[in-house]
Every structure is written in structure tokens, then in C-alpha cells.
Chains A and B, each alone.
Chain A
Amino acid sequence: MGESIVLEIARYSPERDAEPHLETYEVPLRKEWVVLDALNHIKDKIDGSLTYRWSCRMGICGSCGVMVNGEPKLGCATFLSSYAGRKRVRVEPLRYFPIVRDLVTELGDFLAKLKKVKPWLIRTDGPLLREGEYLQTPEQLDDYRQLSMCINCTLCYSACPVVGLDALFVGPAAIALAQRYNKDSRDRGAKERTLILAHPDGIWGCTFVGECTRVCPQHVDPAGAIQQYKVGSALAWFEGLIMPKKRRKTEDRHGAAAD
């Protein structure tokens, strides 16, 4: 095998350290190895105390997000070989989150925000179960399909400076998820979600840096979802201003109005 690569990994233990520091490890550079394989190699063979999350190693569970050379990445989807030319690869915990230990971040705040946007199908007039499914054409499915791909890996939160600067900002993934339900033809909850979304901590907190979309491993495009919601929301407000009677109706189909 011969070739190797040096990893600089951020280590932090609340029991020993006041703040994180970097430690270096040399690991074999193998063609098919991803950053996660290197972490596993270190944990199994060099230092069993290295702490990180991982599970599916196929890019779908969303556990293993880390900063690799300053970029938010999934550890399981980032080949070591793509850094072969560099002297060192720096692996740090995802930015803008409190650090629990080494590469493990605290997700409580993220989960609370996710829940806040009511990410479930809101509808009360459904027929009985045995009467079968709601109908939804492939085109209607297409309206929200991409937004439903979010794996909650939180890379977008680490890419978003607003998240770093404003702790109350609901954030890209949560807004995109709300929009996923708003745009679902079966959902009737757009109005309920407006209270949280059309708010300075919601869509209006977003300054359209666009980094969330660039780093998203599932191509969800939260930035697009937020801007589309802004446009829809502004149009609805404007429409209400000039035609007050239509206002209620527009708000009801708020989500759909956003495209």
C-alpha cells in the first residue's frame, strides 16, 4: 500500500480540555477510502477514544457530517483520494453547533426548530382508510419531491452564516421541510405554518447567501425554497393590499402561490 495521508482532527473532551485542539494521525491512502473509513481506521487501530457519529455509510442516514478542510461534508461521501495532493486534511465538527466532544455536535436546537415548522401533513377532511389513498399525479409529486429528500444532516446549517450569527433563525433545512409540506397537494396546513415562516426568524432572516444549496448532498435547494416562499408571500401580501376580498383565499393556498 505504501502511500499515506495525514489527518488533522479536532479533539475536545469536556473532562480534560478547555477548548478544542488539533491532533494529527497518519492513515493509509487507499483509493476506495472515504474520510469515514479513515476515522474508523484511527478508532479501531490507533486511538479508541476518537469520537464521531456514523451509521449507514451510504449517504442516507445523515449522521456523519463534518467539516473537511473548512467545507461541510458527509464523511462517508468524501473520498480521501480527492485530497491526495494536499499535505493534510483537516477534519472538524460541523460549524455553528455546540461541540459535545471531538466531532460530535449538539442537535437539540436543530430538532426543536424542525418541530416548530409543523413538518407533518395537516388535513382534517380525509376519507376513511379503506377508501384508499389521496390522489396525487406525478406532476403534483414533482412539485415537492426534491424538497422531501432532506436527510437532516445539518450540513446546510454549517454553511449558513445567518445560522452562526442569529441563534433564533429557523434555518435552511427546517424551512425547506415546511415548504415540502406546503407544496404537497394533499396538505392544507400552509396557513398554520405562515406564522412561523413569514417572520424575521423565518424566511425573512435569510439573506440568500446560497451556500446551503451548494453544500446539500441531496440537492434539496433550501435557498431556492426560501426565496420562492418570499416571492409567494410578498405577492400574497400585495394582492391582499389591492384586493382585500381575495386575501383569505390567497393565504389558504399560500404554499402553492409561492411558485
Chain B
Amino acid sequence: MQQPTKVPHYTKYHPRWFRPRVSVYWWLGQWQYLRFILRELSSVFVALTVIMTLLELRAVVQGPVAYARFQHQLAKPGVILISLISLFFVLFHTITWFNLTPRAMAVKVAGKRIPEWLVAAPNYLIWIVVSGAISLLILRG
């Protein structure tokens, strides 16, 4: 609603529709939209986490010295901050998408659609099992 024109150009019997422009900041107007943008944005941090993991793997392969240097880099306050933000977004990403699976998959058993939580539950179950297995592997090793 930012057209500065004052005098409308109206021709009789020719309606002139007003076309509102969508603001660049449309996603700030409503919490649901902001949450959606954050969910989309979370992909960046997921990618960042993947890159970090790959770098870590490379450091491990290069030997103890390289790994120690990598660990030292990780301990810097800036990197810790980024890691914390990444953790938040990765969790946000995971949970929102897990919760959306039942919407994308209508699973039917014996002709009846099974309740939504039952579709989402296996995601969490696998998440817990895999996380458990990895931490067990690391803690033992």
C-alpha cells in the first residue's frame, strides 16, 4: 500500500483493481511465517554441521597432529558459539521435519489411516537408537 499516486485514473465501466505488493519482509509479519523461514534457514546450519564433520574426518585421517590442531580450533569462543547455534538449528530442523512426516505420508493399515503420532514415532525411535549406538561406540572406544 505504498503507491504515492493521489488521483485515480478511472474510466467508467472499467474497474481498476488494486494490487497490493508483497513486502520483502512478509515473513516477519506472522510467527508461523517466521518459523517457516527459520526452518528453511536451518538447512544452512545442517550443511555447516556436515562440513564440520567432514573437516573433522579429514583431520582424523591426517593424523594426531592435525586432529589436535582441529580440536584447538574448535575450542575458540567464536566456533563454540557457531556450534551452539548450529546445534539449536539442527535440533529445530530435525524435530520440525520429523513432526511433518505424518502430513506427507498417509500410512494405512487394514484400510484405516493410522494416527499421526504413530507415523512420526519411528523417526524418533531411529534417532534415539542411532544416537545411542554412536555414543556407545565413542564412549567405549
User: A residues touching B (Cβ–Cβ < 8 Å)?
Assistant: 12, 14-20, 70, 95-96, 98-101, 106, 139, 142, 161, 164-165, 207-211, 213-214, 221, 223-224, 227-228, 230-231, 259
Contact = CB atoms under 8 A, between A and B. Distances in A.
A9 B1 CA distance: 15
List 4 A-B pairs, minimum CB-CB distance, nearest first.
A227-B104, A98-B17, A14-B16, A139-B111
Given A99-B20, A100-B17, A161-B33, A18 B103 contact: no
Interface in B42-74: none
Q: Which of B15, B17, B100, B111 has the most chain A CB within a 10 Å cutoff?
A: B17
Interface of B: 1, 3, 5-8, 10, 15-20, 22, 26-27, 29-30, 32-33, 36, 40, 100, 103-108, 111-113
Nearest to A96: B22
Contacts of A231: 104-105
B103 A98 contact: no
B139 to A, nearest CB: 37
Contacts of B10: 14-15
A228 B29 contact: no
A165 B1 CA distance: 16
A16 B6 CA distance: 9
A99 B100 contact: no
Nearest to B36: A209
A95 B18 CA distance: 12
Given A12-B18, A209-B36, A18 B6 contact: yes
A178 B111 CA distance: 22
Contacts of B113: 142
B54 to A, nearest CB: 26
Given A100-B15, A209-B32, A17 B22 contact: no
Contacts of A14: 8, 10, 15-18
Contacts of A259: 105-108
B8 A16 contact: yes
Q: Which of B26, B104, B108, B113 has the most chain A CB within a 10 Å cutoff?
A: B104
Given A15-B8, A98-B17, A161-B26, A230 B1 contact: no
A219 B71 CA distance: 52
Contacts of B18: 12, 14, 19-20, 98-99
A20 B36 contact: no
B104 A214 contact: no
A224 B8 contact: no
B35 to A, nearest CB: 9
A96 B18 CA distance: 11
Given A12-B18, A99-B18, A223-B103, 20 more contacts: A14-B8, A14-B10, A14-B17, A17-B8, A19-B3, A19-B18, A96-B22, A98-B18, A139-B112, A165-B26, A210-B103, A211-B33, A214-B32, A224-B103, A224-B104, A227-B100, A227-B104, A228-B104, A231-B104, A259-B107
